[in-house]
A and B are shown apart, each in its own frame.
Chain A
Amino acid sequence: MLLAVSALVFLMSHFTPGDPATIMLGANASAADVTRLRHELGLDRPLMVQYARYLGSLLRGDLGHSIRSGRPVAQEIWERFPPTLELTLAAVAIAAASGVLLGAAAAVSRHRLVDTLAMSASLAGISMPSFWLGLLLILLFGLVLRWLPIAGGSSWQALVLPAVTLGAQAAAVLARLTRTSLLDVLPSDYVRTARAKGLAGLHVLLRHALRNALIPVVTVLGLQFGTLMGGAVIVEAVFARTGLGLYAVVAVQARDFPVIQGIVVFAAAVYALVNLAVDMAYVALDPRISYA
């Protein structure tokens, strides 16, 4: 799978207009210099050979060097990953907690005010552009009320606004899904049995209904992780956080291909890992499923 991903990335960077060696040396470089650099970089070899070399260096963990800064890409990615990871995890936590809660509350109160309010909020949430929400939150909490910082920073306060911004859309999606899923599960036989046994409503909800209702939710959560990683790109731009997202944008604008390639491969790898974890979480949630 990752093989195909790397192939795609490699091909894409090859189709880009502009020759990397020329970009690196600048427009005034002599033809001889460009040819020499191309030979050094291996750009004049056949395509398959270049790809093989690329794979080789990937396996060794070498993602090339940034055209802009000359530093190893792998190192630059590694340095910038923690803030992005922090943001994404915080957003996931917020999204999961608020989404499931909201969805569950809506399902339980079914068609009454709470339900309508929750679902309207969710609809608004999935329609709103994240960067707009970010700007609004900055406006309200940063400038008018002055409760929270609005740019950069590594304190937990600086994490609040960006994480909420990023997580809001995912929370809305999860809320809707939880509600639907729960509504599917609640009329089931085993739920009625549990209630008939005299178990308290909340207990029934938590142990029986939710465990099964959450299965599709967990799947979507895994998929959302990817969306959140992408969304982090934009949110980092809004809140001026120095993470992988901002790095990616800068790299694209500067046509820094090794960096772009590296980030894309890295992101795909992380995404694959997360989905793997989700698959394993399945087993924990529903004992009927196993990978015998």
Chain B
Amino acid sequence: MLAGAAITGVFIAAALLAPWIAPRDPVAPLIEEVLRPPSWAHAFGTDELGRDVLSRVIYGSRISLEVGVVAVGIAAAAGTSLGLLAGFYGGTWDMVVMRGTDVLLAFPGILLAIAIVATLGPSLGDVIIAVGIGAIPVYTRTVRGSTLSVRRMEYIEAARAAGATTARLLRRHVLTNIAAPVLVLATLGVGVNILIAAGLSYVGLGAQPPTPEWGAMLSGARQYLRDAWWIAVFPGLAIMLVVLGVNLLGDGLRDALDPRGRV
């Protein structure tokens, strides 16, 4: 878990410090420097428009982390609320929420994202929304399950008898119980969402040029693979390392917070 935290930390730092540590402008094309291999001047080489790949990778960390975190934020917020609603009040609410979740789950993740992007138009913002919506069901189910089991416990009855209001019950007992699983899901979710968003950008449905998003960078790299392998290798490596870091962090969190391993 520490390794995960360390790796993730590096990328967060890179994202925050980008304007100061990136050696070149990530967006402006420089025709005379097109397709240079890695060298002292350009640690990761230059791309097909002469832009420094290292700088683009560094700036790309901002975008990817933003995508991952915001999408997870949307999913966790909406999913948790829905799950609480379904679990706590039960009955019709439960049925409605569960049916809605089932509909969302009827679509494989990426296809749902594609469908939503089709509705809203290809752009990075819409990809975030699409990926976020697709991730809601996991949170809804988990939170609902935890809420249901907490609701049945006796100390809730006791607290209610003592005059506790619903809001207070929710906050104190239910939320503390679900905090751990949701946190683990969220951490792992950041990784998955980054991957999906990058994939969508790769096929042109997400970030549009000249945004230095890693997936979009790899899209351009396909044509130049023969001559300029560095355009493909480094952004992809960045994606993998970020997701790896986040996954390690999530796994570590899961082991630490739930020793039975049944999140």
Contacts and interface: CB of A to CB of B under 8 A. Distances in A.
Interface of A: 1-2, 4-5, 8-9, 12-13, 15-17, 123-124, 126-132, 135-136, 138-139, 143, 180, 225-227, 229-231, 233-234, 237-238, 248-249, 251-253, 255, 257, 260, 263-264, 267-268, 271-272
B122 A252 contact: yes
Contacts of B195: 129
Contacts of A136: 232-233, 236
Given A229-B108, A263-B111, 6 more contacts: A128-B239, A132-B235, A238-B202, A249-B205, A260-B118, A271-B106
A135 B219 CA distance: 10
Interface in B211-263: 215, 218, 221-222, 225-226, 229, 232-233, 235-237, 239-241, 243-244, 247-248, 261
B50 interface: no
Interface string B72-96: 0000000000000000000000000
B259 to A, nearest CB: 14
Contacts of A263: 111
B165 interface: no
B218 A8 contact: no
Given A135-B225, A272-B106, A234 B202 contact: yes
Contacts of A124: 240, 244
Contacts of A271: 106-108
A132 B236 contact: yes
A129 B215 contact: yes
B191 A127 contact: yes
A177 to B, nearest CB: 12
Contacts of B97: none
B198 interface: yes
Given A129-B215, A252-B118, A135 B232 contact: yes
Contact of A233 (B110, B244, B248): B110
B119 A143 contact: no
